[in-house]
Amino acid sequence: MIIRALLIWVGLLAIAILNGGFREAVLVPRLGRPLGQALSTVLLSLFILALGRIATPWIGPTSLQDAWLIGVVWVALTLAFEFLGGHFIFGKPWLTLLADYNLLAGRIWVMVLIVTLMTPVIAFTRNTA
């Protein structure tokens, strides 16, 4: 189950990277940074929900605890990639990386993490109901 969850997370990562490219190439130039980032966050959340809904049965959680574990693993990998990769590979300063979590500044990136955590749980409960 964990290997399959990791494979799906790599797919989520690819979608997130493509979404980021689309945001910077299309959304931000047309809508401005705040609205472009917000729309990009919503789009990525919808993609995560869609892929997670399709993939969770293939991953094969057998309990609600398994579904939560998948969500926690996905969030942990996302945070590790964002902070460790963002800082050490892409050279972004820590404060720039943390800025995405400033809800008071209108940054709603945390929504992606909540959706990532909850998607396997939602998919599992919908498939078992």
Instruction: Encode pLDDT of 29-52 as tens digits.
Output: 999 999 999 999 999 999 999 999
pTM across the whole model: 0.91
For residue 91, the number of C-alpha atoms closer than 13 Å in the C-beta half-sphere is 0
Q: Helix H segments across the chain?
A: 2-22, 28-31, 33-59, 64-80, 94-99, 110-128
Residue 93 has which token pair? 């300063």
The closest alpha carbon to 12, from 46, 47, 54, belongs to: 47
Distance spanning both ends of the chain, measured CA to CA: 21
Q: Which residues of 38-53 are buried (b: 16+ CB within 10 A; e: fewer)?
A: bbbbeebbebbbebbe
Q: Does residue 97 surpass a pLDDT of 70?
A: yes
**What digits encode the pLDDT tens for the residues 46-81?**
999 999 999 999 999 999 999 999 999 999 999 999
Give the integer Cα–Cα distance in Å for 59 and 123. Answer: 11
Query: pLDDT at position 83, please?
Result: 94
As a whole number of angstroms, the distance between CA 63 and CA 127 comes to 11
